[in-house]
């Protein structure tokens, strides 16, 4: 007999996207240049030489996309706002046409009974702000607050769920440390300063959003991992603790009022020469501004082995595990462990999974369908893990699949497909994949048979 898995009555099911990955229209209606426009227009940065200039052309096709969401029974939609559409120079003059686009989008969602979850920053920083120092400069955090003010003043009467930032670790360390994301800087001192200013801007913006949006629930989304040692050796334990500090605790601790973890600041200094001279007296209190929920982006776990030399710890691939096209291990039980850890260690009152999904290579079959069996299995296993966590008392309130549709996967261009809707980028045709069809049933039944 299959086991019936049922979620709590008010559990929200949705899907997520981000502006640069789907919108296109990179220079229309007064939009300014973003760091991702500049980065993708620079030869050699993106694996397939592609850009987000057109992407899914969602800027022009948003009504059809919302109709598709409605047909799939989506209850919530997480999308991000392109800062340079609102403030082409990053600060100063507001571009009304940019705000109008998101105003229509929000109304379109509400008219279809879909709750908007707005992310203010999903990596498309106005290039003008980057030219003035980018996230390593404190002034960018101040500019973010003015931007959050402009957006929440316009949409705050209808939008109640606000996410300040998406994955600060990625924005800071891939963008300014390793240089594989925009703006392509390789400087760990700058990356650490960027991470700090992103968190600071989050803390400063939270009360501003609340002032503009009476029923606002404000949160932040982090990319989090279950990190385990490869063996019981003290060396591997230490390496796992370091990676956990770098990826998870560096963000969770200050957000939840515990300041920056000292073992990680020491590690940063030892391994990357980072000085924490960018932290001003009251910053840790600002970062710890009360928030209503935590957004968790979960994709994989890390099994860690100590490095030979005193360098960054290494993630190893476990034999017999399944891996996605990103090379990420499929590890649903680690989602269960992570959610429990967040609940018991940080006492978080409300959690949403704001992203979870998998890249697999999809083909359109002769019957015109996309039989993405592995993605369906991935989602099912992760939904089950989330359900188990709820049984343990974890206050998980909703789940957003990444992604609503195939899109521009950053440095990988269009070579990785994460969607539950297939996109033919030449014809801009959409096909709901088998995973999307199955997801429609899950939403309708608020659960599934295991």
Picking from 94, 102, 191, 200, the residue whose alpha carbon sits closest to that of residue 145 is 200
Residues 87, 147 contacting (CB under 8 angstroms): yes
Identify whether 167 is a catalytic site residue: yes
Give ∠ CA 86-213-197 in degrees, rounded to 5.
55
Q: Least distance from C-beta 19 to ligand IFM, angstroms?
A: 10
Nearby residues of 344 by Cβ (< 8 Å), 6 or more positions away: none
Q: How far apart are CA 406 and CA 92, in angstroms?
A: 34
Q: Which residue, 329 or 409, is less far from ligand IFM as judged by CB?
A: 409
Q: Least distance from C-beta 366 to ligand IFM, angstroms?
A: 30
Q: How far apart are CA 80 and CA 59, in angstroms?
A: 12
Which candidate in 23, 242, 355, 409 is catalytic? 355
Q: Least distance from C-beta 381 to ligand IFM, angstroms?
A: 18
Residues in the chain, overall count: 450
Q: Least distance from C-beta 247 to ligand IFM, angstroms?
A: 13
Q: Which two tokens stand for residue 207?
A: 């009360």
Asked, as a colleague might, if the bond just before 302 is cis with ω within 30 of 0, I would say no
Which candidate in 23, 33, 130, 167 is catalytic? 167
Picking from 186, 198, 221, the residue whose alpha carbon sits closest to that of residue 138 is 198
Q: Which residue, 200 or 358, is less far from ligand IFM as judged by CB?
A: 358
Q: Which residue, 21 or 435, is less far from ligand IFM as judged by CB?
A: 21
SS3 286: helix
Asked, as a colleague might, if the bond just before 345 is cis with ω within 30 of 0, I would say no
Which positions touch ligand IFM (CB under 6 A)? 18, 21, 167, 297, 355, 402, 409, 418
Q: Least distance from C-beta 295 to ligand IFM, angstroms?
A: 11
Handedness of CA 182, 188, 194, 195 (dihedral sign): positive
User: What amino acid positions are annotated as catalytic residues?
Assistant: 167, 355
């Amino acid at each position: 007999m299959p086991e019936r898995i049922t979620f709590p009555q008010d559990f929200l099911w949705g899907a997520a996207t981000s502006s640069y990955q789907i919108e296109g229209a990179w220079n229309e209606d007064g939009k300014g240049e973003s760091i991702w426009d500049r980065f993708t227009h620079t030869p050699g940065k993106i694996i397939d030489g592609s850009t987000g200039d057109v992407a899914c052309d969602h800027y022009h096709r948003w009504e059809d996309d919302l109709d598709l969401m409605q047909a799939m029974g989506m209850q919530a939609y997480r999308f991000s706002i392109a800062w340079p559409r609102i403030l082409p120079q990053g600060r100063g003059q507001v571009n009304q046409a940019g705000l109008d686009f998101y105003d229509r989008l929000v109304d379109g969602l509400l008219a279809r009974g879909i709750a908007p979850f707005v992310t203010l920053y999903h990596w498309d920083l106005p290039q003008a702000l980057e030219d003035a120092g980018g996230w390593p400069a404190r002034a960018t955090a101040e500019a973010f607050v003015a931007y959050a003010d402009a957006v929440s003043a316009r949409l705050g009467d209808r939008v109640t769920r606000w996410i300040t930032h998406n994955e600060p670790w990625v924005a800071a360390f891939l963008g300014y440390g390793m240089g594989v994301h925009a703006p392509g800087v390789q400087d760990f001192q700058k990356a650490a300063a960027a991470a700090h200013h992103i968190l600071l801007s989050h803390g400063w913006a939270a009360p501003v959003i609340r002032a503009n949006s009476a029923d606002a629930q404000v949160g932040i989304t982090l990319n989090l991992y279950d990190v385990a040692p490869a063996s019981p050796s003290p060396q591997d334990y230490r390496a796992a603790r370091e990676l956990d500090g770098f990826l998870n605790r560096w963000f969770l601790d200050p957000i939840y009022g515990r300041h920056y973890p000292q073992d990680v600041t020491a590690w940063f200094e030892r391994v990357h020469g980072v000085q924490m001279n960018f932290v001003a007296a009251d910053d840790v209190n600002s970062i710890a501004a009360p928030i209503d929920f935590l957004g968790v982006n979960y994709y994989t776990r890390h099994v860690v082995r100590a490095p030979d030399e005193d360098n960054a710890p290494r993630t190893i691939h476990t034999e017999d595990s399944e891996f996605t096209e990103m090379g990420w291990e499929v590890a649903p039980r680690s989602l269960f462990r992570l959610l429990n850890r967040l609940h018991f260690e940080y006492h978080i009152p409300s959690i949403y999974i704001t992203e979870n999904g998998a890249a697999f290579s999809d083909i359109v079959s002769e019957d015109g369908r996309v039989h993405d069996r592995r993605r369906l299995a991935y989602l099912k296993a992760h939904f089950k893990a989330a359900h188990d966590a709820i049984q343990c008392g974890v206050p998980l309130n909703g789940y957003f699949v990444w992604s609503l549709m195939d899109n521009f996967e950053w440095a990988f261009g269009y070579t990785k497909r994460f969607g539950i809707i297939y996109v033919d980028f030449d014809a801009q045709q959409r096909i709901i994949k088998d995973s999307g069809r199955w997801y429609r049933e899950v939403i309708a039944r608020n659960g599934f048979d295991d």
